[in-house]
Structure 1
Amino acid sequence: MKTVIDTGNLPVDERFESWLDYMFQQVVAPMRVTCDDPGAFRGSIEAIELGAVHVSAVGASPCEAYRTSRMIRQSDPELFQLAFNLRGKTMITQERKCALSQPSDLVLYHTSRPHQIRTGRVRADLGEHATQGVMVVFPAKLLPLSPRKVERLTATSLPGREGVGALLTGFLTQLTASTHQYGTAESVRLGTILVDLITTVLAHHLDADTAVPPPTHQSLLLMRVYAFIEQHLTDPGLSPATIAAAHSVSTRTLHRLFQTQNATVAGWIHARRLECCRHDLSDPFLADRPIHAIAAQWGFPAAAHFTRAFTAAYGLAPRDYRHRHRPDRHTRSDAGEIPGAGIRTNL
């Protein structure tokens, strides 16, 4: 993700004013912001563009933002915004409905209608932003559900800890934690998957699964399969048959699902296991762990086979890769950390 604003890098007397300017001039749906203590305000936004879908990780001190009818008349991009709360409490009000969002909750609202967002306080001793969350912004026309039905769910807290809600919040958590740079085609595909997941979550709460287009059901099944594979990568019994059985589909259906991604089930598992090995070999905290032990943990019990597969995938033998990425070859950051250490991209 790319940092678009971080008031912590500005002089204290410029922080809140810079946040005001950004929220009113730079965002696609401008908002006014007020704050009880401008001098202590901190705010930051990191963002990534996924085709027509915009995703941002937002942290801010206690404040209040609002979008009025006049502002809508001046600029109405007709967007939906989905807020995923990570820390703190947020109150979102729209059309006489009010949602108090707790950590892991999801709240949908529309830029074409006046609304108000108020962030609350958390423990002062945390020394971090009062609230932290993820915001997804996408054109309303991308949502393949009845607008009248969707209105029933705006400014309503939706759970994100279990079921399809957990799939969506898990996807957003991994996406915003990743440092990977996506190409145009990858970004568009990720944006499509994200809208499909949002559609499925909303349809679930509307009890309208039959109204969801078949491609959306397919994307949801694929996300479930990906999540299952990630959870069982260390299981030597992981196979197309066990994956299909866990999702109540035939192996033929499973293989067809992966064909839509120009991949195979076995190939995906193989690639993900190699990526986990690559991550562990570059992790300074695992520098003393034998290479064969890392390989065996991730499903490569035969050392020679692992060496050939790893070299084919990354252009270096495992031992050479670890040597090139050992900690003392990196320049440490100001915080004394190795850039990128400990980060695993599961997308």
Structure 2
Amino acid sequence: MIASIAMRRGQTLIRLAGIWAIWLVVALITSVQTYVAGLTTGTPQPWLTAFGNGIPWYSVWALLTPLVVAVARRFADERRVAVLLAVHLGAGLAVVLLHSVLYVSLNAMIYGNAPWAPWSKDLLLLKLTGSIHVQLMIYAIIVGIVLGARAYRTLRDREIVAARLETRLAEAETAALRAQLQPHFLFNTLNAISALVPDDPVTAQRLIARLGDLLRLSIDRHRSQRSPLADELDFTDTYLAIEEARLGERLRIVRRIADEALTVAVPALLLQPLVENAVRHGIAPLVSGGTLTIEAGLAGGRLRLVVADDGKGAGEIVEGVGLGNARLRLQQLYGAGSSLEIETAPGRGFRVTIMVPR
């Protein structure tokens, strides 16, 4: 509690010091103009005199600035233009009167009762009548700065909120797509194992244990939208162990994985559905089987991931659960920074190439 109060006081002092510094710079600029104008008109005055005359004027404005800021903030949400104009016109005239009184009083404190001292009723009337437009303009500038800064912060906050909502929506949609993938994957894997139960129950039992490993890994992945490529390859290898046991020598696997690609984060459960499509639809239907190739490497600052087979291929591309969800998830997570390309032809296999940012 005490630390919080001390911190707020420190911030207030910093803001006040900043206000004084700004007005000091304004006083310096104005004094330079006055000094140069004296030289130009042939009525030069010492530099210290020019600067000293400007200090009281702008020091009072430094003193009144927090008051003007408070008024601007108090009525910042007012939407009625007539009320807003009336408030600031009244407040502006009051600030002008207060500034003139304080300025003349400050001059009297500095110069005393010397005959040449600028303290007099005439000076007060002169400031009220001769510089009221300048002071009202200064008041308006301060109010404009406060309202402009407030509008900027409001716009920035809205953009941050909108970005967060967009991120949450993308995460929710991605989670829904992953939820769709998991039962699809489980159903297909159980079908693969059930085909072995009558003829090879020992192998089927071993594959059920593998399936348990897959489910455990799947649950672990559910906690994150992305995971390292190395983890995705481990998950896919566990799935491929089941397919190798089922297809035997009909399934040949080639892996070309660059070491630097293993740590790149990719969408969780992205690779396995692509491998499953290649095995089930490209290689398994052929009596001779085929070769599955998995490649990963870096290209142009992005990860290039390829899943290809030399199976039966297809005359047309149909994006089911695996391919369709992969494309949608890439779009949700990376937008235009990712791509998914498909190459296929009857008898020439199926090739999926994915590019994701590092």
Instruction: Return the TM-score normalized by structure 1.
Output: 0.21
Return the structure number with greater helix share.
2
Instruction: Return the TM-score normalized by structure 2.
Output: 0.20
